[in-house]
Structure 1
Amino acid sequence: MAQVASVGLGLRREMLNEFCQSVPSGINFFEVAPENWMTLGGKFGRQFRQLTEQHPFFCHGLSLSIGSPAPLDTDFVHRIKHFLDMHGIEIYSEHLSYCSGSGHLYDLMPIPFTDDAVIHVAKRIKQVEAILERPFILENVSFYAAPASQMSELEFVNAVLSEADCQLLLDVNNIYVNSINHQYDALSFLQAMPTERIAYLHIAGHYQEAADLMVDTHGSDVITPVWQLLQQCYAHHGVFPTLLERDFNIPKTEILLQEINQIHAYQAAALSQQERRA
């Protein structure tokens, strides 16, 4: 995806009535988890179709379980493809994690940072790409334990991206959360991500459980250190489409727009700085 200044918002069902009437100009695209929308019919289904016909959409999956030891659920991937095709959505991303084994775990679990896991995940990514007929975009995730690790998170993420030759959804908040929980330098991690693989960005709020424990909730405002990391991301990697995630404690649209407009301002400042250097 070419570098571009645009800002998106995660779409929730409770937003449908408002946005089917009018979408604020500051919202350039929407993101949805296909699992939450692909079975909708009736009024919700009609409203969703209206929005996908009028606005750009990205899909960010929840239950593909790309790192699972269980066989890939190809029937599910085909259903995702049908949903993407039906709504003309080309962007599909998922988490570098797993959520199933002998059954569904209902949470995003950390993949062991091992060479075997790199090969396993990359093979499954290529399977998914072949079915979807779209590039696979992989998100760096927040995690709270690293069982049986043979390498660092940074080494693992880069190894999977290289082995699978896939794109990256760079989640700035997840870098910050992990940097606190696992005691590493967030900026160094950010700068070590491969610019050429970045498709788009996520930014969100989180919950501070303790001074050394952050929980990735998407349920609060973005805090100053995360805003600063986003600015540093634009300065180092360039400007990419950026999605504001807000899944809980969702305020009114005019409040969300304050953060959306903050992202626009940071993008404009970064582009202006690039022009001055050129």
Structure 2
Amino acid sequence: MPVHGVGLGLRRSLLGALAQTPEPVADFLEVAPENWIGLGGRLARQFAAVSERYPLICHGLSLNLGGLAPLDTRLLRDLRAFLDANQVQVYSEHLSACGDHGQLYDLLPVPFTEANVRRIAERIAQVQDALGRPLIIENVSAYLTLPGEMSEPAFVAAVLDEADCHLLLDVNNVYVNSVNLGGDAAPYISAMPSKRIAYLHMAGHFDAEPDLKIDSHGAPIIDPVWALLEHTYQCHGVRPTLLERDFNMPPLEELQRELQQIRHYQQAAAIQVRA
């Protein structure tokens, strides 16, 4: 990874505050290209100013890796142009489906089957050829499971191996799925192949019911997810870790406190390794 430390997901509402801080608040920013491709005027100028202060990585929203429709070649061309123009080498996407011949604007689970392992690995290879960059895939949150012959950890690991790609390990998604679908989050984290983990996501979620968590990215991170981050570092070592916040945006100072909490866990894990 060309970035390290603690990152923050860039949202338009943060542009002004990030431009005004005397020092950078994070080590890198993560950008969803679909939210910025083709923009002009004031937003484009603000984006350019922020990109001069922070290293950028990109995280896609609509590639539809797990879908059945052909990959969107126009989107891939636009993505390649955006990544090249902003000199971004890191691009990640979700291990999910988000449509067929239309965009559903949601991330849907796929059946955990050997056939899907091979099919999705082939689509990953197409994406990497089109973008001229390696692709990092993210485990996703879900609210149901489709018929299949593998567990989610085994499926994710198999896709990583078949495609020879890396993982964006979303710690909150593992926790959300452990509640929604059953299972234990800690063994899931432990089962991930260390050599494949490129970076991590941390976020908050919405408690719809005691046994239903919605991956909203609209609330502070809760203690069990912090504990799972600590477990992740213990299992796999410190990785670049990014804070996502999409809704109910607090003042930047509140986000900085969560960024500092991530940094605290990173420093504690590094001290344990040296000891």
SS in 2 for 1:142: coil
Q: Distance in 1 between matches of 2:235 and 2:99?
A: 36
Q: Distance in 1 between matches of 2:23 and 2:96?
A: 34
Other-structure match for 1:172: 171
Following superposition of structure 1 onto structure 2, how do residues 163-242 of structure 1 map, counting pairs within 5 Å? 163-242=162-241
Pick which of 46-55 and 215-224 moved more: 46-55
Other-structure match for 2:123: 124
Q: Give the TM-score, by structure 1 length.
A: 0.96
Q: Judge conservation of contact 1:7–1:26 (CA < 8 Å) in 2.
A: no
Note closer, same or farther for the CA distance 1:23–1:126 as it changes in structure 2 (3 Å cut): farther
RMSD over equivalenced CA pairs, Å: 1.3
For 2:32, the aligned partner's letter is A
Following TM superposition, by how much is the alpha carbon of 1:51 offset from its aligned partner in structure 2, in angstroms?
1.8
Other-structure match for 1:150: 149
SS in 2 for 1:48: helix
Other-structure match for 2:68: 69
Once the two structures are superposed, residues 106-163 of structure 1 have per-residue CA deviations (whole angstroms, 9 ceiling, x without a partner) of: 2111111111111111000001111111110000000111122221111111111111
Q: Does 1:33 pair with 2:32? A: yes
Following TM superposition, by how much is the alpha carbon of 1:53 offset from its aligned partner in structure 2, in angstroms?
2.6
Q: Does 1:21 pair with 2:15? A: no
SS in 1 for 2:179: helix
Q: Judge conservation of contact 1:175–1:190 (CA < 8 Å) in 2.
A: yes
Other-structure match for 2:82: 83
Other-structure match for 1:98: 97
Other-structure match for 2:269: 270
Q: Judge conservation of contact 1:53–1:87 (CA < 8 Å) in 2.
A: no
Other-structure match for 1:256: 255
SS in 1 for 2:98: strand
For 1:148, the aligned partner's letter is P
Q: Distance in 2 between matches of 1:231 and 1:89?
A: 29
Q: Distance in 2 between matches of 1:244 and 1:130?
A: 29
Note closer, same or farther for the CA distance 1:265–1:5 as it changes in structure 2 (3 Å cut): farther
Following TM superposition, by how much is the alpha carbon of 1:24 offset from its aligned partner in structure 2, in angstroms?
4.3
Q: Judge conservation of contact 1:7–1:27 (CA < 8 Å) in 2.
A: yes
The count of residues paired between Structure 1 and Structure 2 equals 275
Note closer, same or farther for the CA distance 1:200–1:143 as it changes in structure 2 (3 Å cut): same
Other-structure match for 1:10: 9
For 1:227, the aligned partner's letter is W
Q: Distance in 1 between matches of 2:51 and 2:88?
A: 8
SS in 2 for 1:220: coil
Q: Judge conservation of contact 1:57–1:89 (CA < 8 Å) in 2.
A: yes
Q: Distance in 2 between matches of 1:41 and 1:83?
A: 13
Once the two structures are superposed, residues 173-220 of structure 1 have per-residue CA deviations (whole angstroms, 9 ceiling, x without a partner) of: 000000111111111000000110111000000011222111111000
Q: Judge conservation of contact 1:5–1:267 (CA < 8 Å) in 2.
A: no
SS in 1 for 2:16: helix
Following TM superposition, by how much is the alpha carbon of 1:20 offset from its aligned partner in structure 2, in angstroms?
2.0
Q: Judge conservation of contact 1:5–1:239 (CA < 8 Å) in 2.
A: no
Q: Judge conservation of contact 2:24–2:53 (CA < 8 Å) in 1.
A: no
Q: Distance in 1 between matches of 2:236 and 2:41?
A: 43
Q: Distance in 1 between matches of 2:10 and 2:113?
A: 35
Other-structure match for 1:50: 49
For 1:69, the aligned partner's letter is L
Give runs of ≥4 in structure 1 deviating > 4 Å.
none
Following TM superposition, by how much is the alpha carbon of 1:250 offset from its aligned partner in structure 2, in angstroms?
0.8
SS in 1 for 2:112: coil
Pick which of 12-21 and 118-127 moved more: 12-21
SS in 1 for 2:199: strand
Pick which of 97-106 and 244-253 moved more: 97-106
Once the two structures are superposed, residues 214-271 of structure 1 have per-residue CA deviations (whole angstroms, 9 ceiling, x without a partner) of: 1111000000000000011111100011000000001001111111000011100000
- What runs of 5+ residues in structure 1 fail to find an aligned partner? none
